[in-house]
Amino acid sequence: MPFMPGDKSMLEGYIRKARPFADMFSVKGKTAIVTGGSSGLGFDITLRLLQGGANVMIASFSEDERDAAMPLLAEAGFTDTVDFTLTDVTKEEEVARLVDVTAEKFGSVDILVTCAAVWNYAKIYDLPDKDLKKVFAVNVYGAFYALKYVSRYMKEHEIEGKIVLISSDCPFVPYPVFGGYPHYASSKAAVMGLTVEAAKELKRYGIQVNSVAPGGMVTSGSASNLASDELTEEQQDEFYDELMVWQLDGQMPVDQIGIMAYTLCTPVSDGITGEVVIVDGGAHHNIVKYQPAIEQYPPEE
């Protein structure tokens, strides 16, 4: 097919409209809220957003985490661009206040990343009601409240913002091998559904909503994750025996997930909304470096 004169003008248009490459990876001048941003993955994402030039408001219910995280960020050179608001994300009024405080402090809210989450181990038939309610209160209601008030602010102020909800690959990957995450997996599946629905509702306002679904990674939270304290000692021991059976292809570096979440906050992701990006090294497709032999468990009679 011959090259037409209009083809050249189209190519010239590509050049004219191309933004500087460095700007595509920048969040300079933006303001972000990161729930659960004082530890683990949330802290890593907070750091990356600060490095990218954003102002960041960390939201957490833990004063101890605040006292550990804020000095570290100050030592890294971030003082005026980061602040902390003590927030219980299960309480709607506190999340509404968080958005108001952030806008008052930094002048806007352009980015939301929801990292606040809790979990523990128990089988469906042993799961205490209080653990079910707590996991859903933090992981689902907390994400919903943050999404509700940040999107409302963005809509009212005509901000074409970026929202990233942290989910998990556990709805796709049954780990531990013999179960134990029914409440957590269900809560993270709910976050994925919320991602798609919110993206539908908010696209007309230029607000993009995506989710990052991490695989297994080492954080202070995962390292201290235990069976429900309401299980009997015998039930807990049985569960820990089962935990020794599951095999993984190593743990994901936290920053690999943090970088993906950061990327979804930048112009690089302008063409993406309503997506769940799974960052687990291929584990949900059973793509592994090795698969050690696993003896039958429980032992055959």
Catalytic residues: 167, 181, 188
- Alpha-carbon distance of 122 to 42, in angstroms, equals 25
**176 contacts 279 by C-beta, under 8 angstroms:** no
- The phi and psi torsions of 36 (rounded to 5 degrees) equal 70, 25
Instruction: Determine if the peptide bond prior to 298 is cis (ω within 30°).
Output: yes
Residues 6+ apart with CB under 8 A from 183: 119, 122, 127, 131, 132, 135, 136
**Cα 266–272–278 angle (5° rounding)?**
90
**183 contacts 135 by C-beta, under 8 angstroms:** yes
In 3D, which of 29, 170, 31, 33 has the Cα closest to residue 114? 33
In 3D, which of 269, 256, 59, 17 has the Cα closest to residue 161? 269
- Alpha-carbon distance of 295 to 142, in angstroms, equals 40
Burial of 170: CB neighbours in 10 Å, binned 0-12, 13-18, 19+: buried
The β-bridge relationship of strands 208-214 and 276-279 is parallel
